[in-house]
Amino acid sequence: MQTTTINTNHSVHEGHEAVSKSPLFSLPAELRSEIYRYAVLVDPDQHIDITSGTFPEPALLRTCRLIRHEARSIYVDENAFSICIDDYDSTELMILEEWEESLDINLTLEVKIEKSANWTNLARWLWRINGESITRTSTGYERQRGSVEHKLISALFSIAAESSEMPFDVAKKLLEPLYHVLVAMNKAWTAAHKNIWAEIDFQMREIDQLSEVDEH
């Protein structure tokens, strides 16, 4: 599969063939759709990996604008995709969700975690969920699944999502007790600062300052 960088400018190579003369377009739309499915769908038990800020696309979608228009929704809506998050850094997930919103699509997406615990990144993910700049969560990396650590992280995500109507300063008070239990289970989750929300507080102050500048 070829890949295209995730953005809202999706120019494709235009073939010079006269599309109207192609035998494909003499077929009924329903039959063309079945042909596209053979070309762009993977096995139902497989996921298409999204990596390093790129969205993979089959070559068929780059043949001409009309085929792209007809086949792309089948590829996007009927395949399952996956994205790997390193060290709980949700930045690429946020970019992907912004891209989905810009194109009015909603991928079937599995969010997987690679590497290790990182409280600063997880805290930022919780903040983004609370602020609804990210909607998806993950239940952790493979070896966590079914463990108490897995359940604690799931609970943190749930609290962040359910408190989205609250200011994050209020949500933090609900999240903090679970942080301490998480650290008791695994010291690798220990925050780099005594104030476990230091990085988030700094970003919130920066946003407030930018808002004040914009108002003036």
Please report the pLDDT score of residue 209 as a whole number.
Answer: 65
Please report the pLDDT score of residue 15 as a whole number.
Answer: 43
Please report the pLDDT score of residue 7 as a whole number.
Answer: 39
Largest CA distance in the chain: 69
Please report the pLDDT score of residue 202 as a whole number.
Answer: 85
Please report the pLDDT score of residue 144 as a whole number.
Answer: 57
**pLDDT beneath 50, residues of the chain:** 3-16, 18
Please report the pLDDT score of residue 79 as a whole number.
Answer: 96
Are the CB atoms for 81 and 48 separated by under 8 Å? yes
Please report the pLDDT score of residue 205 as a whole number.
Answer: 79
Please report the pLDDT score of residue 212 as a whole number.
Answer: 56
Please report the pLDDT score of residue 6 as a whole number.
Answer: 41
